[in-house]
Amino acid sequence: MTRPPLPSSLINTLASHTGPINALTFSSLGGTYILTGSSDRQVHLSRTEPSASSSSSAQPSRPIQKYAAHGYPILDIAVSADNQTFASVGGDRSVFLWDVQNNEGTSRRFGSNTSQGHTSRITCVAFAGEGDTVLVSGSDDTSVRMWDVKSRDGRPLMVLEEAKDGISALVVPDAGYEVVAGSIDGRVRAYDIRTGKVTVDVMPGAVTSLDISGDGKTLLVGCLDGRIRMMDRSDGTCLRAFPPEGEAGYKNESLRLKSCFGMNGGLVLSGSETDGDVRAWDVLSGNNVGRVQLSPTGKVISVVKWREGSQAQGRQALWAGGGADGTVKIYAEG
């Protein structure tokens, strides 16, 4: 079975940032909104799809709110399941927890006033635990730290220090008792918080990106050897690598590119370092099923994110990509 091609109809452009885009994520519960984080040290909240009054997808949409408290580039964003809060991280070495409705300042910061905080920039963040009561952060200091959202003492609940190089990516499976961390040391470590067991998968290059399938059984791992691998979580087997042997053009050798699953796990999407394009591959055949140019000047596309559609709710599937030119473009089926 061949998957439908990558949606390529541009429906919205976000151009409010003044620096490269390093992070983006859709809101929970339908993805009506999108949060974008940039080297300009701001997080912007925008509508995913343009308002009815917008006359053209080429006309950039304005953000609904801007959140400015970071002193360094923002590298990752995570949204709580109830959409009430989001976390952002970057060069500040602390985790910022925001109240979505309040753009006057962060509601909380974790790790900023304690000797037990991160000692280098934080590259990734995720919510965990029942009710999103835990924040998980990964840093260039080689550690993963877990924070109690309700705590006031500022100390981490747990520190995981098995990595030999910086932590570059995190995912938390839906069960909530496990943390999966990718590192520049070329390892993917899965921590079972209940038992303390650590499972390690060795990759052929520095890990720069992680995503997990909806059923939690498959991990998508991006590495600096220029391949994206689909890994079976039960035994660490590589199910397929993208791009397939012989396909030219895709390059990831020096920068952190965040790839993702799409179309209910049927596609793999990624930007590239050199040509300004986003590519998609069918997970079953491995074939390239789409290529969309986001940057006509060939700027790096560093992050892509997919939003699933829902026929019952009248919501179309779409995806967003952003990178070095500071814009985010959102595409749906034509």
Structural tokens at position 3: 């998957």
State the burial class of residue 1 (Cβ atoms within 10 Å of its Cβ: 0-12, 13-18, 19+): exposed
pLDDT tens-digit map of 227-268 = 999 999 999 999 999 999 888 889 999 999 999 999 999 999
Higher pLDDT residue, 79 or 115? 79
- Compute the average pLDDT of residues 32-43: 98
pLDDT attached to residue 56: 55
DSSP label at 312?
Answer: T
In the predicted model, is pLDDT for residue 4 greater than 80? no
pLDDT attached to residue 135: 97
| φ, ψ at 212 (rounded to 5°) | -130, 145
313 confidence band (pLDDT: 50, 70, 90): confident
Whether 134 and 126 have beta carbons less than 8 Å apart is answered as no
Amino acid identity, position 87: A
Structural tokens at position 294: 């986001």
**CA-based torsion, 48, 53, 54, 55: positive or negative:** positive
Q: Which residues of 117-146 are buried (b: 16+ CB within 10 A; e: fewer)?
A: bbeebbbbbbbbbeebebbbbbbbbbbbbb
- Compute the average pLDDT of residues 95-105: 83
Mean pLDDT of all residues in the chain?
A: 93
Cα–Cα dist 123/216, whole Å: 23
Structural tokens at position 223: 């590495």
Structural tokens at position 246: 């012989």
pLDDT attached to residue 115: 82
Share of the chain above pLDDT 90, in %: 82
Cα–Cα dist 114/211, whole Å: 31
pLDDT tens-digit map of 194-231 = 999 999 999 999 999 999 999 999 999 999 999 999 99
Please report, for the chain, the start and end positions of each structural domain, with discontinuous segments joined by +: 9-332
- Compute the average pLDDT of residues 128-146: 96
Q: How far apart are the first and last CA of the chain?
A: 22
Cα–Cα dist 299/179, whole Å: 33
**CATH number for region 9-332:** 2.130.10.10
Per DSSP, the three-state class of 132 is: helix
pLDDT tens-digit map of 156-194 = 999 999 999 999 999 999 877 899 999 999 999 999 999
pLDDT attached to residue 105: 63
pLDDT attached to residue 228: 98
Token pair 């109830």 is found at 82
Cα–Cα dist 259/303, whole Å: 7
Which of 147, 269, 132 lies closest to 211 in space, CA to CA? Answer: 269
Which of 112, 110, 179, 119 lies closest to 151 in space, CA to CA? Answer: 110
In the predicted model, is pLDDT for residue 1 greater than 70? no
Share of the chain above pLDDT 70, in %: 96
Distance of CA 197 to the CA centre of its chain: 25
- Compute the average pLDDT of residues 136-151: 96
Whether 220 and 208 have beta carbons less than 8 Å apart is answered as no
Whether 37 and 25 have beta carbons less than 8 Å apart is answered as no
Distance of CA 202 to the CA centre of its chain: 21
Per DSSP, the three-state class of 130 is: helix
- Compute the average pLDDT of residues 272-288: 95
pLDDT attached to residue 98: 95
> Is the whole model's pTM more than 0.85, yes or no?
yes
In the predicted model, is pLDDT for residue 320 greater than 80? yes
289 confidence band (pLDDT: 50, 70, 90): very high
- The verdict on whether omega for the bond into residue 243 sits within 30 degrees of 0, i.e. cis, is yes
- Compute the average pLDDT of residues 324-328: 97
pLDDT tens-digit map of 40-83 = 999 999 999 987 655 555 577 899 999 999 999 999 999 999 99
